[in-house]
A and B are shown apart, each in its own frame.
Chain A
Amino acid sequence: MLTEITAARDAALVEIEVADALDHIAALTTRLAGKKGELSLLKRQLGSLDTVEAKKAAGQAINEAIAAVGEALDQRRRLLTMEMLAARVEAERLDLTEFVGKPSRGHAHLVTQAWERLEDVFIGLGFRVAEGPEVETDWHNFEALNMGEGHPARGEFDTLFVDHVPPGGKPGTTLLRTHTSPVQIRTMLNSEPPIYIVAPGRVFRRDTPDATHMPVFHQIEGLVVDRGITMADLAGTIEAFTKAFFGSGFTSRLRPSYFPFTEPSAEFDIQRPNGDWIELGGCGMVHPNVLRAGGIDPEEWSGFAFGFGIDRMAKERHGVEDIREMYTNDIRFLEQF
């Protein structure tokens, strides 16, 4: 009996040794080591043995044989599993450099990026963002901004007019806004002070395009109206913006200038860490006539306003040489930013 058991075990081990597929191992597991497997079936012959000792010894031998076969099956299964995974991984090999540089992401326009960065800095300084139409009335664009009919400063704006005539109005009084300042007027008329807004937007001038000018460009304008606002607040706000937007190594200054809609008026310059001054924009205390046009009592409230170009920010940040290139919509340009 013992000889038979040993022979069955050895035969099983040989079979396991040559099994070369996991499903083969699965079949062998059932046939050899299962409850009704070949080795277990040997237990049925135990009854034919004479002595208790012989039965006990044979039973033990069968159990040991089953354990040994089970162990061999496990080992073989692990080995084959490892080999199979290794083969699969090898078969799946990819050259990832084949996949580099496929365009999958789009790009926000350079001007929009500058626009949003500016908005974000001013939001951080406590401003909200206001917008207005690009086609405007003469009243919002000039009259309400202390530039009545015949004001010499009107001539400096090179205004583009449109053929829309308002009901009861005169031809030539509808125009493409020459600055974002009409948004100041609309905001004052539509809300009560305190007002802290910036107004980014597109503006138009009848200018022949060149490397630094476009007839269509973008400005951002700020307006603050509150009690007790002074030029000191204007200068401080410009300085806070300068540091927040350009970096702590930059500083700013105001110097006297002239705009019909502010008084006192100033240009503001920023100074690079290397000491160079760059002209950035115009600003000043909102002229009492402008506050009045916005329905605000200049004795109770005061305010400041400032404005500058967005396109130039974008142009200089990235070193674009010709501003016209920003508007060709050439993918080779757009996808650089």
Chain B
Amino acid sequence: MKVLLSWLREFAPDIDGDLAVLSDQLTMLGLAVEEVTVTGELVPGVVLAKVLDLRPHPNADKIQLVDVDAGDGNALQVCCGAFNMSIGDLIPFATVGTVMPNGMEIAQRTMRGQLSNGMCCSGAEIDMGDDQDGILILNDQVVDGAELGASLAEALGIERDVLWDLEVNANRPDAMSVAGVARDLAAALGISFDFPAYDLVRSTERIDGLVKVDIIDPELCGRFVAGVLRDLTVGSSPVWMQRRLTALGMRPINSVVDISNYVMLELGQPNHTFDLDRLPGGHLQVRRAREGETLLTLDGVERGLVSTDGVITNTNDEIVSLAGVMGGTTTEISDTTTNVLVEMAWWDPPSISRTVKRLNLPSEASTRFRRGADWGDNIDRAMQRFMQLAVQAGATAVDGYVDEAGVTPSTAPVRIRAAKINSIIGTDLPSDVIAGHLTSIGFGVGAVSSGATPAGNNSELDVTIPTWRWDTTSETDIAEEVARLYGYENIVRTVPAGSLTGSLTPYQQDRRHVRQVLVGAGCDETLPMPFLAPGDLRAAGLAEDGVSLTNPLVAEESVLRTSLLPGQLKAVAYNQSYGNRPPRFFEIDHVFLPAPEGSLLPDEREYLAVALAGEEAPTAVAILDLLERTLALPNVQLRPASPAGMHPTRSAEVVIAGRVRGHVGEVDPDVLQNYEISGRVAWLELDLGAVLNGPHGNRKYRPVSKQPTSNIDLAFEVSDGVAASAVESQLRRAGGQLLVSLELFDVYRGVGVADGTRSLTYRLRFQAQDRTLTDGEVAKLRNECIAAVAKKTKATLRT
């Protein structure tokens, strides 16, 4: 909402003070100032001049010679390219030395042999409208007694003005008007606010019998007031009105449209005009549309209507207007219109909203109706103002209005407790101060009961709600008004007395730890979009059982991921396409699995993924090992498997404490091809949520033995069909408590080892807590280990 200082002053004449302070005041009222512009400072050096003579240029067709009187009584010759002036016209004239808004400096110069001593200006050249085709003719616009040579601002009675562009919140429809902003500002400044009396002379003709209004659907229309104007001529509106409309962002159209818009901006009451002569019997009916009905609206579009749309019909039940949204063409004001029916109505906000949304027809008017206009005195005031402005434009106002009522929202008084208001804001305001803030913006306050003193804050008050603030229905609504007028900036800041000990949950701490360890391991964290394109899951070898968006912005972002794999592969491919170094990526993020039967929401889980481009499966296993140590995961096993999307012979399921929690290995070459990735990608994906919510982190102290250790190395020839982990588990079982560490330190295939087998060399370290192991004991352990492996895995000891 834009407002002009001069316009605000018509309601609160005492608004004054430093511009920055006023702007701050508006912002702190909740009318945030987005932009301040000082206007009305016309171009210095441009003066009022009179055309004395016009004659052809002897050497040019496209320019003529003009003699003007710029105030000194002498004829000053100017060359001019416009031909719309007549002798005697008053025009804006840029004297020599004037710097025009476009930066050009006016100088005396010669054009085709003739002297030019200044410039006659078009409206566009001096920021007074869009017209650049002709010189701006000011004959009707200068103030009485204006002298030639006077500055244009003085001649036109234009004063310096301030334009504020305010952000008005959705709960403040009252501030969608100049008067509403003035009411708030006056209250904050502690100055008076009043509506002017809109005096006008009416004809003796009465409206009775001219107009009839039937509200058939009272839920749709809370109030409908109609007035009639006669002898109207549709012309252009006065310059002052055009200037204000333009300043507030509306384009001047003609006198009728401009008055309509002016009243709406000034008082916040949207309105509509009908050509009365095209309304048989002056009869209007308000009802809902019937499915299938249509209306040719003012913008020339045939609109199909539905049963929630509000419409106005004529006496033949033919639709003439889409209530509160847009009029129809059949009753449109035309150049030949002389008799006008003016509608001032209050429409049900949800009804207007539905129609505006369905037809995508937002407008200044419907926005005010949607947020909730005022059905009270403001409608009468707006009608009076409309009539007054029309009469000033030459029309005749028929006496009286037709005024029909429907259903309006309740504005029952709200009982407030001063103590509660104070406890919300954190203040200790006496009830009379609270009352004062409320009455300053038009609320009514009556005391119900008092505390210890009349001004005490134990009082209860009954607050009556003005019709322009009908969304105010509760004690907290009132508290907001009091806080706003008391000033948020005046609230003395405290911190809550009872705050607790802040902390991360163990889960959150572990997650951070995982992130730090992965960063330390050289992985970069990525945040791909959680949306996938249809087919992304299939291309990654995964089932297409994800949850989809029903209204995606684009089809490429319509499927929610069930795995982090597609997003990571896209990120890898993206980096490869730019020739970046091979990515080592990780991601900790949500995936969305199909909802289990009877579940309110999809099965949302937090996963961890690691993608190592150019690496083979063992690197991913090493990362898993790092995580195992980081989180002290119990009993991590790799179970050979071919999980979806993974390399069929280079992948395994990750089993932690007996539960499958993810998989590790390499991405399936087919999948890599689908994502246009070259080289291998080592991959690890874990259900991090399940891992962190499962057993982990047990780091119970084990005494450090001071006893000597015995190391033995054992090399086995193991069939390729037997997992190294199987050999390892036999060694651990046979080694028992005395086996304090076990390391697979060499894997060898080739000469000296049979085909289909490989050599696995383990270093076993034995140690007791309480004694030196004897050679005999170590030899016995060694034999038991060899026997256990041989028995369970058929592996043979290499010698």
A residues touching B (Cβ–Cβ < 8 Å)? 103-109, 111-112, 116, 119, 122-129, 131, 133-137, 150, 152-153, 155-156, 160-164, 166-167, 169, 171-172, 174, 176, 194, 196, 202, 206-208, 215-216, 224, 226-233, 235-237, 239-240, 253-258, 263-267, 285, 287-288, 302, 326-332, 334-335
Contacts and interface: CB of A to CB of B under 8 A. Distances in A.
A255 B488 contact: yes
Contacts of A160: 549, 551-553
A312 to B, nearest CB: 15
Nearest to B600: A166
Contact of B500 (A126, A155, A207): A126
CB-based closest 3 A-B pairs = A232-B426, A256-B30, A230-B426
B425 interface: yes
Given A206-B553, A208-B553, A329 B479 contact: no
A264 B423 contact: no
B527 interface: yes
B424 A135 contact: no
A265 B484 CA distance: 10
Interface string B623-663: 00000000000000000000000000000000000000000
Interface string B519-559: 11111111111110000000000000001111111000100
Given A129-B505, A258-B171, 14 more contacts: A125-B495, A128-B500, A162-B547, A162-B548, A215-B557, A230-B494, A231-B488, A232-B425, A233-B495, A255-B27, A264-B425, A264-B483, A285-B479, A329-B585
A133 B601 contact: yes
Given A106-B519, A116-B512, A256-B29, A232 B492 contact: yes
A119 B505 CA distance: 12
- B170, B477, B574 interface centre (most CB from chain A within 10 Å): B170
B764 to A, nearest CB: 33
A329 B493 contact: no
22 contacts: A108-B515, A111-B527, A123-B502, A126-B502, A128-B503, A135-B601, A135-B604, A152-B370, A161-B549, A167-B599, A196-B496, A215-B557, A230-B494, A236-B494, A253-B488, A256-B480, A258-B30, A264-B488, A302-B424, A330-B578, A330-B580, A332-B578
Contacts of A216: 529-531
Most interface-central of A163, A202, A237 (chain B CB within 10 A): A163
B493 A239 contact: yes
A52 to B, nearest CB: 56
A152 B354 CA distance: 10
Interface residues of B, number: 90
Contacts of A226: 496, 498
A227 B557 contact: no
B28 interface: yes
A328 B572 CA distance: 11
Given A226-B498, A255-B28, A106 B474 contact: no
A266 B488 contact: yes
Contact of B474 (A129, A227, A231, A288): A288
Contacts of A155: 353, 357
B702 interface: no
A263 B420 CA distance: 13
B476 A264 contact: yes
B55 interface: no
In this complex, the member of A106, A125, A266 whose beta carbon has the largest number of chain B beta carbons within 10 angstroms is: A106
B223 to A, nearest CB: 21
Given A106-B520, A162-B549, A330-B580, A135 B592 contact: yes
A122 B501 CA distance: 11
B707 interface: no
A136 B477 CA distance: 29
Contacts of B592: 134-135
B794 interface: no
Contacts of A136: 601
B324 to A, nearest CB: 15
Contacts of A125: 495, 499, 502
B504 interface: yes
A230 B424 contact: yes
Interface string B552-570: 1100010010000000000
Nearest to A133: B604
Contact of B601 (A150, A174, A239): A174
Contacts of B547: 135, 162-164
Contact of A334 (B521, B526, B529): B526
Nearest to A230: B426
Contact of A287 (B170, B476, B552): B476
Contacts of A335: 524
B443 interface: no
Contacts of B585: 329
Interface string B581-601: 101111000101001001111
Nearest to A311: B527
B476 A288 contact: yes
A106 B585 CA distance: 8
Contacts of A137: 600-601
A288 B30 CA distance: 21
Contacts of A152: 170, 349, 353, 370-371
A202 B530 contact: yes
A198 B520 CA distance: 28
B575 A124 contact: no
B524 A163 contact: no
B491 interface: yes
Given A253-B489, A329-B571, A108 B169 contact: no
Residue of A112, A127, A162 with highest tally of chain B CB at under 10 A: A162
A206 B425 CA distance: 35
Contact of B32 (A112, A229, A255): A255
Given A133-B604, A258-B171, A106 B523 contact: yes
A265 B598 CA distance: 38
Contact of A194 (B170, B498, B590): B498
Given A133-B604, A137-B600, A334-B524, A257 B169 contact: yes
A106 B483 contact: no
Nearest to B605: A133
A106 B425 contact: no
B350 A150 contact: yes
Contacts of A230: 423-426, 494
Contact of A231 (B424, B505, B584): B424
Contacts of A109: 524-527
A227 B503 contact: no
Contacts of B182: none
B508 interface: yes
Interface string B352-375: 010001000000000000110000
A202 B531 CA distance: 13
Given A106-B521, A137-B601, A164-B547, A264 B480 contact: yes
A255 B167 CA distance: 12
Contacts of B551: 160-161, 206
B283 interface: no
A123 B581 contact: no
B304 interface: no
A169 to B, nearest CB: 8
B514 to A, nearest CB: 11
A227 B586 CA distance: 43
A256 B484 contact: yes
A199 to B, nearest CB: 12
A176 B602 CA distance: 11
B480 A232 contact: no
A107 B291 CA distance: 60
B172 interface: yes
B518 interface: yes
B483 to A, nearest CB: 5
A302 B575 contact: no
A126 B499 contact: yes
A230 B600 CA distance: 35
A106 B518 contact: yes
Nearest to A285: B424
Contacts of B531: 216
